Amino acid sequence: MDQSVSTKANSSILEVWGGTPLQGKVNISGAKNSALVLMAGALLCSEPCRLRNVPSLADIQGMAKILKALGVKIKQDNDVLELDPTHITTTDAPYELVSKLRASFFAIGPLLARMGVAKVPLPGGCAIGARPVEIHVRGLKQLGAEVYIEHGVVHAYASKLKGAKIYLDYPSVGATETLMMAATLAEGETVLDNAAQEPEVADLANFCISMGAKITGAGTKTITISGVPKLHSTDYNIVPDRIEAGTFLMAGAITHSDILLSPVVPDHLTAVIAKLRSIGFQLTPDAQQGLRIQSKGVHTGTEIETLPYPGFPTDMQSIFMALLTLSEGNSVVTETVFENRLGHVPELVRMGADIRVKGNIAVIHGVPFLSGAPVTGTDLRATAALVVAALAAKGKTSIEGLQHLDRGYSDFEQKLRGLGARIERVPAPNA
């Protein structure tokens, strides 16, 4: 992450005065988790590439720094990124940059495939879990690479990767993306079985296909990649961010508002839309890539279990839980994807929520109201959940942890203000 951005975010808080209904239309940015991996994917190409609809985020700046350190020339004009990876000057990714942004580990697959060597520090864990990379490493070995870890750095070598049939023990998004990128320039055919089916995986495949890669089946459990000798220039538009869209759906739902989100791909939000409908909200796709949410009054509790796509997304768990704190009746939320993703619970409890946690399960008894309080976000989606809860709480909520929020939401408070929310970023009292 850009250090100056991070320091500024650390010394600011968000003040939210809850209880104002929202109205109007909100623009959804390009998907963070597509943009990050597509930027790394550009390393596969020996010619300049253009990415459009790139969200304005601290994580994107972080990935740009890493690519620049590897020799990629980057120009940014609003949401358009021009990447020129023609001359890679080093295959060693710098620790101080990689340790700040896990997604930078994505560089390993493309660097290895194109340059025959990659040295990328292990990204380490983060607030939501240990986040190991052994599935990535095992897959690269199956593609014929020599891979070992020394002094905290993953070293990978292969004069030419060779296509292989690879079964992933778990449909890891990052491992699927790493192996798909590596296989695009391998000799022969690679089949990834039990692959992740997330829309960002399909977006990466489409980006690679637009550069001349031969990939079929992305978005299903089995992806087939026929290696090609090189990839060519492209101009590619990133898909809308389904988690940002889901976050605004929750903002609309918790304030019982009528709002329109656009652009959205409703098929990317099937599990979230189904849950919202089942607890009492009306969701209507419109012809212009829009999605409208309307409240029908009371909403009820439900059961949610996070799962790999197309199951309920772990990235929406905390944010949906904010809504369930005000549902009529009881709810049960089970987090199965990350081992430590309930950091928002004590903070929601500070706001008056009734939640008990046992292991990875949270039991929520709906309460009639939340009340504003000082709270701290522990990770990106936990912080977003606190903002959503604050929109409905009585009085003022002060939210710390904005360095997390700025990693993943572009112009968040401006977009919320555009819908009528009372939300301000102010210096922290003791900054």
Site for ligand EPU in 48-107 (CB under 6 A): 103
In angstroms, give the least distance from the CB of 176 to ligand EPU.
8
Q: Which residue's CB atom is positioned nearest to ligand EPU? A: 174
CA distance 35 to 52: 9
Q: Which two tokens stand for residue 426?
A: 């102010």
Residue spans of beta strands (DSSP E) within 255-348: 258-262, 281-286, 290-295, 303-305, 330-334
In angstroms, give the least distance from the CB of 132 to ligand EPU.
4
* 45 given a catalytic annotation: no
29 is a site residue for ligand EPU (CB under 6 A)? no
Helix (H, G, I), strand (E, B) or coil at 204: helix
CA distance 103 to 65: 12
Cβ proximity to ligand EPU: between 257 and 317 the closer is 317
Q: State CA 402 to chain mean position distance.
A: 16
Is 415 assigned to a binding site?
no
* C-alpha distances out from residue 86 to 70, 98, 312, Å: 11, 22, 39
Of the candidates 150, 188, 143, 195, the residue with the CA atom closest to the CA atom of residue 173: 195
Helix (H, G, I), strand (E, B) or coil at 161: coil
Q: Helices 173-184 and 199-210, interaxial angle, to 10°?
A: 10
Interface residue with ligand EPU, options 4, 87, 152, 170 (CB under 6 A): 170
Cβ proximity to ligand EPU: between 192 and 393 the closer is 192
Instruction: Please calculate the CA angle 249-253-256 and round it to the nearest 5 degrees.
Output: 140
Which range of residues in 5-13, 42-50, 82-90, 167-175 is near ligand EPU by CB under 6 A?
167-175
In angstroms, give the least distance from the CB of 238 to ligand EPU.
13
CA distance 284 to 277: 10
DSSP string spanning 379-392?
Answer: SHHHHHHHHHHHHH
Which range of residues in 6-14, 130-138, 144-152, 270-278 is near ligand EPU by CB under 6 A?
130-138
Helix residue ranges per DSSP H, 42-85:
58-69
Is 221 assigned to a binding site?
no
For the chain, what is the radius of gyration of the CA atoms?
Answer: 21
DSSP string spanning 116-155?
Answer: SEEEEE----BTTB----HHHHHHHHHTT-EEEEETTEEE
Q: Which two tokens stand for residue 223?
A: 């992806």
Interface residue with ligand EPU, options 236, 338, 409, 412 (CB under 6 A): 338
Which range of residues in 41-49, 129-137, 215-223, 394-402 is near ligand EPU by CB under 6 A?
129-137
Is 32 assigned to a binding site?
yes
In angstroms, give the least distance from the CB of 337 to ligand EPU.
5
Of the candidates 62, 66, 132, 124, the residue with the CA atom closest to the CA atom of residue 93: 66
Q: State CA 397 to chain mean position distance.
A: 25
One character per residue 371-410, x = contact with ligand EPU (rule: CB under 6 A): ---------xx--------------------------x--
Cβ proximity to ligand EPU: between 322 and 326 the closer is 322
Is 33 assigned to a binding site?
yes
Interface residue with ligand EPU, options 108, 337, 362, 386 (CB under 6 A): 337
Interface residue with ligand EPU, options 26, 63, 72, 135 (CB under 6 A): 135
Is 337 assigned to a binding site?
yes
Cis omega (within 30 of 0) for bond into 310: yes
Of the candidates 75, 64, 73, 61, the residue with the CA atom closest to the CA atom of residue 40: 64
In angstroms, give the least distance from the CB of 402 to ligand EPU.
15
139 is a site residue for ligand EPU (CB under 6 A)? no
315 is a site residue for ligand EPU (CB under 6 A)? yes
Cβ proximity to ligand EPU: between 96 and 134 the closer is 134
Which range of residues in 3-11, 143-151, 170-178, 357-365 is near ligand EPU by CB under 6 A?
170-178
Which range of residues in 7-15, 81-89, 194-202, 257-265 is near ligand EPU by CB under 6 A?
194-202
In angstroms, give the least distance from the CB of 191 to ligand EPU.
19
Cβ proximity to ligand EPU: between 272 and 326 the closer is 272
In angstroms, give the least distance from the CB of 178 to ligand EPU.
9
**Chain residues in the site for ligand EPU (CB under 6 A):** 33, 36, 103, 129, 131-136, 170, 172-175, 196, 198, 200, 314-315, 337-338, 380-381, 408
Which of the residues are catalytic? 126
